[in-house]
Structure 1
């Protein structure tokens, strides 16, 4: 007879300090685990500029290079490719399904990024929405 061992998502996806860092009511740092850990990891990847981490100088996405670019189709496509490249390289727990990048309808300086991915271990589809503000 085959034995089936059930694991929870914290076991599958690990545990780390939450992002953004927060202190709980007991005065201790809040931790992130499971599926939210993956979501937060993607945010960290996209918010980190290559060269920021001393021991991993290639880590990150480099969206800051688009801060002063015109908010047009070409820039949106470059942002989309940059996000795709960074997630594929730095987040092995997900399979990237699609990325939509568009100008934010409420603020023409902002870019909305919708990331569609599948959590590989449990084959669950997820979506992460971020807004990136350009300085034009």
Structure 2
């Protein structure tokens, strides 16, 4: 078992844990929504997607985000997942990301949706 994200205490009074595939999903969420410069020892970690919520949207913006997200996931989680697809949806001030990937250790194919602060 791995530590669940965000960190919290389970009903048992111990640190909450989760299975490996969910832990990998949590890691993807952390890469997407961490702002570069936010982590002291890894200042270039993350995508900083929350900073882009109020930017003007369009096909060029969506294409740039796809490339940014794919590059960040490959850089930081390339030894954990194989990214199959990245889709970006912009509606008003909401950015929604649908990430298709395979967890390399288990071979499980997943498609997860992330919105704003990472709502599942």
Which stretches in structure 1 are left out of the alignment for 5+ residues? 1-9
State the superposition RMSD in angstroms: 1.8
| Alpha-carbon distance between aligned partners in 2 of 1:120 and 1:25, rounded to the nearest angstrom | 31
SS in 2 for 1:38: helix
Say if 2:78 is the partner of 1:94: no
State the TM-score, normalized to the length of structure 2.
Answer: 0.85
Q: How many Å separate the matches in 2 of 1:118 and 1:70?
A: 31
Residue number among 101, 106, 110 corresponding to 1:122 in the alignment: 106
Give the number of aligned pairs.
116
TM-score scaled by structure 1?
0.76
Question: Quick check: 2:54–2:93 contact (8 Å CA) kept in 1?
Answer: no
Match of 2:39 in 1: 53
Instruction: Kindly provide the CA deviation profile for residues 72-130 of structure 1, in whole angstroms up to 9, marking residues without a partner as x.
Output: 222222221111111001112111111111124xxx22122100011112322111101
Q: Is the contact between residue 101 and residue 113 of structure 1 (CA under 8 Å) also seen in structure 2?
A: yes
1:7-49 per-position Cα deviation (integer Å, ceiling 9, x unaligned):
xxx5xxxx2x311222211332212341111011101111111
Secondary structure (helix, strand or coil) at the match of 2:116 reads: strand
Say which one has the larger Rg: 1
Q: Does the 8 Å CA contact 1:62/1:82 hold for their aligned counterparts?
A: no
Counterpart contact for 2:50–2:116, Cα < 8 Å: no
- Segments of 5+ residues of structure 2 without an aligned counterpart are none
Contact between 1:66 and 1:79, CA under 8 Å: does it hold in 2? no
Distance in 2, matches of 1:116 and 1:78, equals: 17
